[in-house]
Chains A and B, each alone.
Chain A
């Protein structure tokens, strides 16, 4: 039941916010803020309750689930379920949800009600993606989160918002449809195998099929998720969408939407098609490494601050992809930590750039410089997150990247691990250049702008605390993830041995 609340509260809050905005914009903001805080509290409550009961999951059970018949003719169920992985993702979703509401408090002045409707519905869609274990429901939520995101970019975005929004929508829709074909193919193969029509994740896990077919279906899923991730060369929508979106949109895009791609790979692609994924791993990992280096180099070359931060996402998610395909304990844990930390640090960087733009009306690095003297607090915070982004030990990103590299090396992909390490070097370059060009040096343009207000500082404090916490003591998160990871690995290896025995 509580899973339904996690989706229902944002949906209802969105509609309420829209209605109340007729009378007062402030009401819309408060409704959204309180509902996201409530949902965040609910997910923390779930964490407290289930983190200690890892043994419950030892036989592949969910922490908690809701299952109801939805469209009986096609065997479609409304099935939501939560394990450690989805729990962490849901908590991250609502944390960043709170941040996006707060960061829009001053920025959004037009159409406030409709803005919050979209914002809340994106969150609901994302939570749906993280919780759905019926593939039809998953696809439904997957597509659903695109529409409000499209509106967020198209209505409240910057100069080239229409172009960016349409590009984003078409890219993700196209690949989503490929995924739909794959889902249906899997569904029909399972039916011809067993005579049962079902979209249920656990049932489909056992579907056996010819290696060639499995490879094609896997590819459909993979492309669908890789676009969201985004993997090189499917990333061109990302810099535009991130740059043109309003701050809250960028935070959600970078912090959450990209994670749905990684989540899909972990939850669906590898457990459903272990053999095909195994064959495909070198290709995926090569593309991941190219993405790491390409994203970092591109970020280094940008002069628009938002574009710079956007390209760092390509680089960071490359690490996640690398870790997922290495598929051992270390690499997967690293991928998970990277996902969470990237959400927090990149989300914060987008908020910082947004606040800078609000004050200076520019995102051009060339027009900035020497800001440290006039806004020391903001510069310090920016420095902190830039250090996080470049992987400074002691902060969460470092743990994630380090574990991924170690896992990749252990999985026997030595060359890939070495190449990816070079990518880490590039990340130092772009992070330092960002700090140096924007905040250090002479204040040639004589900027004199207000520093972070108390309200704004409050936003960053928990984010910094989490990054530090994950950097120093990630065990709590890893322990929550552990049983879920075991289950995923077990279903992948069961299949693999099953198929090997079948040959």
Chain B
């Protein structure tokens, strides 16, 4: 192995910058606790990291050591993660200003989680896969339980800890199977050995892949590994939920895409079938169970299960179009989820999260801007035109149709009709006449920073819905490094 040289260091610049930011925030908090300083430093670090992507991109694609690969694909997802995190940080600032907790550590934890996600999207080796996953997960345990004097966040933290640990064990087991059979942990090597070897023990490989899918399934909250989702979505503080729903899932899906595209999963019929069943089950269970909820965060939790099922359909479609559809959809999903949880965040008073359906009754008439933004986000989740979600869903259906997986497409269409019903329930609440509710939410002022972020997310959503060509161009270039 060749030793690292200076351009390897340059290629790792985004990772290094995030780590440095975490350290700087920690030191600043040790000198003098200040919520504003911590948030501003974090944002600054994220901004510098984002800017460094342009500096790094001429080097791509580049293999750094055996563990990481910096290519257009990983840079794109890094950018997406960093941008989403910046939104989460701004929302968190407004949210935690209303809390009495120590707040500075939150940002350190978020930065650590981002580091883990960035490792995941750049990983092409089981070791970096596992390292990234654990860095991310451990930060998330603490983030989920951050408001430790409330019961629900604590429950969420513990639940996530136990289940994530269990799923990590499955994942390791699966990796061990594959390593035992092939003697390598590098994705590309695994792929070439699998292609070449006819004398391989197929059952062991398939078992290994299946166990790895369990690990993925847990993080992405796919049925039947979804049971943690509603509780954690409900229990975790709203901005943290937004983070779990976007950054953690997005990074995991990016890795799933890279890993399974590298070993061309479509050659394994049994694995394809398993993933198809998981996708169908997720779409059905997510959409149907969401019908039964009266809590907005739980509705969004079940809807996220369904949405991961949709993305899985695009993934199973395969080919360049499938990868583009996955990536486009994830971007749309990031914006939408951040927007929806963002509204929940700014509405939440200091003692609880605004997650009951009644909290939203007449929201449009009381707060037209917030009501409109939440409505836009819900319409995007439902896949209605003028929003990014529409084009995302359209592209998934197109990708599915082009590889003729009609069964999955039909299920997608039918379940998204079911999905309409619960999105409309929330929309109906938002637009119904405001009643003199027994316990109405206090009309808290919206923090200016959060307001700006929500406005930007709304504009982005509409822009991508009306003119998706620009992002589609970027996405097409980005996924080229894994589909060639």
Contact = CB atoms under 8 A, between A and B. Distances in A.
A140 B384 CA distance: 9
B472 A73 contact: yes
B402 to A, nearest CB: 5
Interface residues of A, number: 34
Contacts of A150: 424
A169 B409 contact: no
Interface stretch (B136-144, B222-230, B390-398): B390-398
A136 B391 CA distance: 10
A144 B397 contact: no
A170 B418 CA distance: 8
Given A143-B385, A147-B379, A181 B413 contact: yes
Interface string B389-420: 01000100110011000000110011011001
Chain B interface size, under 10 / 10 to 19 / 20 to 34 / 35 or more: 20 to 34
A79 B339 CA distance: 32
A286 interface: no
B417 A173 contact: yes
Contacts of A166: 421, 424, 428
B468 interface: yes
B473 interface: yes
Nearest to A18: B368
A383 to B, nearest CB: 37
Nearest to A189: B401
Contacts of A165: 424, 428
A155 interface: yes
B271 interface: no
Contact of A71 (B410, B416, B428, B468): B468
B173 interface: no
Contacts of B467: 70-71
Contacts of A459: none
A373 interface: no
A73 B476 contact: yes
Given A143-B385, A151-B431, A188-B402, A180 B397 contact: yes
A56 interface: no
A417 B310 CA distance: 47
A187 B321 CA distance: 15
Interface string B411-452: 001101100110010011001110000000000000000000
A256 to B, nearest CB: 18
A143 B398 contact: no
23 contacts: A71-B467, A71-B469, A73-B469, A74-B472, A140-B385, A143-B390, A147-B379, A147-B384, A147-B385, A151-B431, A154-B427, A155-B431, A165-B428, A166-B424, A169-B420, A170-B421, A174-B413, A177-B413, A180-B397, A184-B397, A188-B398, A188-B401, A188-B402
- Across the A-B interface, the 4 shortest Cβ-Cβ residue pairs: A177-B413, A174-B417, A184-B401, A71-B469
Interface of B: 364-365, 379, 384-386, 390, 394, 397-398, 401-402, 409-410, 413-414, 416-417, 420-421, 424, 427-428, 431-433, 467-469, 472-473, 476
Interface of A: 70-74, 110-111, 114, 136, 140-141, 143-144, 146-147, 150-151, 154-155, 162, 165-166, 169-170, 173-174, 177-178, 180-181, 184-185, 187-188
Given A162-B428, A165-B424, 6 more contacts: A73-B469, A74-B398, A146-B384, A147-B385, A170-B420, A177-B417
